[in-house]
Chain A
Amino acid sequence: MRAGLASIGAAVLGFLAAIGRVATFTAETISHLVRPPFYGREFATALVQIGFFSLPVVGLTALFTGGALALQIYSGGARFNAEAVVPQIVAIGMVRELGPVLVGLMIAARVTSSIAAEIATMKVTEQIDALVTLSTNPMKYLTLPRVLAATLVMPVLVAVGDTIGIYGGFLVSTERLGFNAAAYLQNTADFLTRIDIISSLVKGAVFGFIAALMGCYYGMNSDRGAMGVGRATKSSVVAAAIAILAANFILTEAFFSA
Chain B
Amino acid sequence: MIKLSNVHKSFGPNAVLRGVNLSVDRGTSLVVIGGSGTGKSILIKSILGLVTPDVGTITVDGQDITRTDRDAFLARFGMLFQGAALFDSLPVWQNVAFRLLRGSLKKPAEEARAIALEKLRRVGLGTDVADRLPAELSGGMQKRVGLARAIAAEPEIIFFDEPTTGLDPIMAGVINDLIREIVTEIGATAITITHDMTSVRAIADTVAMLHAGKIRWNGPVGDLDTSNDPYVDQFIHGRAEGPIEAVR
Contacts and interface: CB of A to CB of B under 8 A. Distances in A.
B74 A132 contact: yes
Most central of A122, A125, A134 by chain B CB within 10 Å: A134
Interface in B35-82: 45, 48-50, 70-71, 74-75, 77-79, 81-82
Given A125-B83, A126-B81, A133 B103 contact: no
B147 to A, nearest CB: 13
Q: How large is the interface on B (under 10, 10 to 19, 20 to 34, 35 or more residues)?
A: 20 to 34
B48 to A, nearest CB: 6
Q: How large is the interface on A (under 10, 10 to 19, 20 to 34, 35 or more residues)?
A: 10 to 19
A127 B79 CA distance: 12
Contacts of A39: 102
Contacts of B105: 135
Most central of B45, B85, B87 by chain A CB within 10 Å: B85
Q: At the interface, is chain B mostly helix, strand, loop or mixed?
A: mixed
A134 B82 contact: no
B98 interface: yes
Contacts of B85: 125-127, 129-130
Contacts of B79: 130, 133
Contacts of B104: 135
A177 B88 CA distance: 52
Nearest to A126: B85
B99 interface: yes
A254 B221 CA distance: 71
Given A126-B82, A126-B83, A126-B85, A133 B102 contact: no
A133 B82 contact: no
A133 B79 CA distance: 7
A135 B49 CA distance: 11
B103 A37 contact: yes
A31 interface: no
Query: 4 tightest CB-CB pairs across the interface, nearest first?
Result: A130-B85, A126-B85, A135-B74, A133-B79
Given A122-B87, A126-B82, A127-B86, 14 more contacts: A37-B103, A122-B88, A126-B83, A127-B88, A129-B85, A130-B81, A130-B87, A132-B50, A133-B48, A133-B74, A134-B99, A134-B149, A135-B74, A135-B75
